[in-house]
Amino acid sequence: MNANDIMISKITIDELLKIYLTLSDNEIKQYFLTEIAITEKELGEDKGTFIIRGRVNCNGERFVHKKDLSYKPAEQNKLYQRASIPGKTMFYGSIGYDENGERNDVRAMGITLFESIKLMHDDNKLISFGEQVITLGYWKIIKPLKCFALAGAERFHNKNIDLKNLYQKFIIFINENNRQDLKPFYDFISTEFAKPIDDNDLEYKLSANFADLIVGKGFDGVIYPSVKTNGESGYNIALTPDATDNKLQLFYAEERTVFKHKERRIFNIDYFAEAITDEKINLTPFPNKKNREDILNDLYFQK
């Protein structure tokens, strides 16, 4: 079956998904080209706010170079990811927003921690416990970013006012241009960016190809709600290497240890680096670093 033969209005979404997964990357893109409705979100420099990217520290490793907190080298990307196909790469980060639609870095950090650390969202909260080191990079937007917003996952709209506003922008667009036929596909591809994925990278095939197509049309990347936070607090963002290199600047980094016991969590800053100006990140001990023994005592015994 050729991609151009697929008609969303005549088959169910489940059937559509099964068909898409049998198509080649180029066939998928051919179909996407006929169905794009532009929903833009321009992200400009907002004083004091950042895009936050996290990397989990495993087996005592340290991230001391700017490239460690940037995008993965394309040749190392062998699998489909939410917004990247094998052999290509994207910079993944998070942007936080509060209930009033204002940028908020604390919420961005929360999204990053939930997206990066399985311990944070362990469903078995009553018995889960442990600790994990993670390094966070705070990237400043130095030039406006033009991103395609995937805002059609309506189950998140009551939790994310900015997402709901973006979707209303899309509805206005299709109504003003008499293109209501674009809504089924936009809603469908939005759900692809908002669905939970386990360990099967092929489940990312549709969203990854859509993102690859979008950046090929001149966008810097895509933004979409965080599945790990149920759409709350802001967005995930995926940017091209070119946009990352030319429109972002790493401003601050910190190494944290996340402690968890049952439903309690403590986030301790161990090392930090600020005013980063070169490729080397000089992490120094955080002056108010808490003693690990005291943290564990608070975590396990404080009511």
Type of residue found at 220: D
194-217 mean pLDDT = 90
This prediction's pTM: 0.86
Q: Quick check: 148 pLDDT over 70?
A: yes
Q: What's residue 176's pLDDT? A: 86
pLDDT, average across residues 131-154: 91
pLDDT in tens, 238-286: 999 999 999 999 999 999 999 887 777 888 899 999 878 889 999 999 9
Q: 1: buried, middle or exposed (CB in 10 Å: 19+, 13-18, 0-12)?
A: exposed
Q: Which residues pair with 141 in a beta bridge?
A: 248
Vertex 148 angle, CA 144 and 151, to 5°: 125
Q: 10 Å Cβ neighbour count for 107?
A: 20
Chain Cα centroid distance, residue 38: 20
295-299 LR contacts (CB < 8 Å, sep 24+): 295/259, 295/266, 295/268, 296/259, 298/266, 299/259, 299/260, 299/261, 299/264, 299/266
Name the range with the highest mean pLDDT among 10-19, 99-108, 118-127, 201-210.
201-210
Q: Where are the domains of the chain?
A: 35-301
